[in-house]
Amino acid sequence: MKVVVFCKSVPDTETRVRLKDNRLDKSEIKYILNPYDEFAVEEAVRMKEAGKVDEVVAVSMGPERAREALRSALAIGADRAILIKDDALDGSDTYVTAKVLVKALEKDGVEYGMLLFGQQAIDGDTWHVPGQVAEMLGLPQAGSIIKLEVDPDAGKAVANRLVEGGEEVHEMALPCVVTCRKGLNEPRYPSLPNIMKAKRKPVQDYSLADLGLSPEEVGRAGSFTEVLSYSLPPKKEAGRKVEGEPEEVVQELVKFLKDEIKVL
């Protein structure tokens, strides 16, 4: 069985977000492989090490820097990578992204048994793309899983996902889509020999034309949604201190909860 892991290049978690002309100021951002995607890559590589999977393909749509995110996935243990890169893709929303990813799977022809995603990207945080891809391909899906058992011979996968107060267990026919989160595994540190090997693993580049798509079908033109503006969250205001004798404080607090924020 082959599996595909989708990878996104995102700003490092320690990035200080700054805006310039209503857009993200990307000049000083350091990019990394989306941490949730690391769980997905790790899981895929473990399935390979367990002998259940014979090829792990990492796929990313993005600018040139997405190649580094793919290289990180290859260093964890993915076998090869696909980079979909085209200036016309700039401004694509999640629907277009999903559409392009599906096209890339078709173009590559990989006979996948499973598609793995991170549950969310830490930049856009939409959680959209995995579900959109699953819908477009008509595949069953389980989101935010913390456990995965795959039986390629029986053609099924069992995934556990955390829900409020318990766990849901999904049994799905292959091929299927899963999205990964913390708790599923501990992503490994890429070893130096594996970083060197990653350099020699193949990365296939696809342009829009390669995928048989026109510029009108993607980017802002092909999207249903558009980001109009960005704004930073409001600064945290200092908390209000209630002081006095216990009776007074309690009265004051109850009044506040009742009248001001109306939770009682």
Residues that bind other proteins in the complex, under the rule CB under 8 A? 32, 68, 71-72, 75, 189-193, 195-196, 198-199
Comparing CB distances to other proteins, the nearer of 104 and 198 is: 198
Comparing CB distances to other proteins, the nearer of 75 and 211 is: 75
- Residue 27 CB, nearest approach to other proteins (Å): 16
Residues 213, 103: Cα–Cα separation, whole Å:
9
Could you tell me the CA-to-CA distances from 23 to 2, 14, 17, 26, 30 in Å, in that order? 39, 19, 10, 9, 17
Query: Packing angle between helix 66-76 and helix 35-49, nearest 10 degrees?
Result: 30
What dihedral angle (degrees, nearest 10) is formed by the CA atoms of 17, 58, 61, 107? -170
Output DSSP code: residue 211: G
- Residue 32 CB, nearest approach to other proteins (Å): 8
Comparing CB distances to other proteins, the nearer of 189 and 224 is: 189
Pick the closest to residue 108 from 71, 83, 134 (CA basis): 83
- Residue 189 CB, nearest approach to other proteins (Å): 5
Residue 242: φ, ψ to 5°: -105, 120
- Residue 193 CB, nearest approach to other proteins (Å): 5
Comparing CB distances to other proteins, the nearer of 192 and 263 is: 192
First CA to last CA across the chain, in angstroms? 56
- Residue 242 CB, nearest approach to other proteins (Å): 22
**Cβ distance 34 to 179 under 8 Å?**
no
Comparing CB distances to other proteins, the nearer of 15 and 126 is: 15
- Residue 167 CB, nearest approach to other proteins (Å): 27
Comparing CB distances to other proteins, the nearer of 68 and 252 is: 68
- Residue 196 CB, nearest approach to other proteins (Å): 6
Residues 128, 117: Cα–Cα separation, whole Å:
11
**Chain center to CA of 210:** 24
Comparing CB distances to other proteins, the nearer of 72 and 160 is: 72
